[in-house]
Amino acid sequence: MLKLGVNIDHVATLREARYRGGAHGEPDPVTAAQICEAAGAHGITIHLREDRRHIQDRDVWKIREAVRTRLNFEMANTPEIVAIALKLKPEIVCLVPERRQEVTTEGGLDVAGNEFAITETRRRLNDAGIEVSLFIAPDQAQIAAAARTGSQFIELHTGAFAEHFADPIARAAELARLVAGAQQARSLGLRVNAGHGLNYVNLPTLHRVPDLEELNIGHSILSRAITTGLATAVKDMLALMAA
């Protein structure tokens, strides 16, 4: 069964727009996580960025305590955030690239260029009982490097697929890259998740990608929640995934 991890970062983005620097504020990411789980989500994803632009340290610990399914902790491979992850003990960590000037994560991790550092962090996290995923583009060299690090998962970056979805030729090419990437990853013993830019329109086409275990989706679900409510938005996405 294809699983859904709901990324609730932008619940905190909305809160920080009004209450940045305060100890309280609305909407509450913890409440959002609980609503998503009650609606059937299989996991909750949060990204503690170095600049703390949305999720704050206090959110991390409260969400860890509240989540009853599976916590996916997205993070850059930096000493400060690695230390937090080792104390937090989420079920899984997803290593992602970060740039201060980007609005959201724009590309995949350069595993091939940082293989030693990523392997060392993977080892430390695994030794603490935490599974490791690497957020990468569907690129042969990056997938091969991900396997060499010993990571358990990759998360295929679906941003290019989403960006080119309106163009049938480009969409087919990006879909073929994702299919080939998933097949390569599985052949190397990696488990495969996917995410970035997925929504209620493009998701059904993604069913053609084999061996996917979990989709991590945030912005589209939270956007729909403004008009339908969060529980309904999660249930609508689950229905599409079950088709």
Q: Among the options 74, 98, 155, 174, which is catalytic?
A: 74
Give the count of beta carbons closer than 10 Å to the beta carbon of residue 78: 12
11: which 2 tokens?
A: 């619940």
pLDDT (average), residues 44-56: 96
Identify the H or E element spanning 206: helix 203-206
The correct CATH number of 3-241 out of 3.20.20.70, 3.30.565.10, 3.40.50.11600, 3.30.310.10 is: 3.20.20.70
For this structure, is 47 an active site residue? yes
In sequence order, the β-bridge partners of residue 157 are: 195
Q: Where are the domains of the chain?
A: 3-241
Q: Among the options 16, 98, 196, 214, which is catalytic?
A: 196
Q: Among the options 10, 16, 42, 47, which is catalytic?
A: 47
Q: 150, 119 in Cβ contact below 8 A?
A: yes
Those residues whose C-beta lies under 8 Å from the C-beta of residue 144, and which sit 6 or more positions away, are: 112, 184, 188
pLDDT digits (tens, 9 = 90+) for 86-119: 999 999 999 999 865 544 556 799 999 999 999 9
**Whole-prediction pTM value?**
0.94
Q: Would you state the pLDDT for residue 104?
A: 53
For this structure, is 164 an active site residue? no
pLDDT digits (tens, 9 = 90+) for 55-82: 999 999 999 999 999 999 999 999 999 9
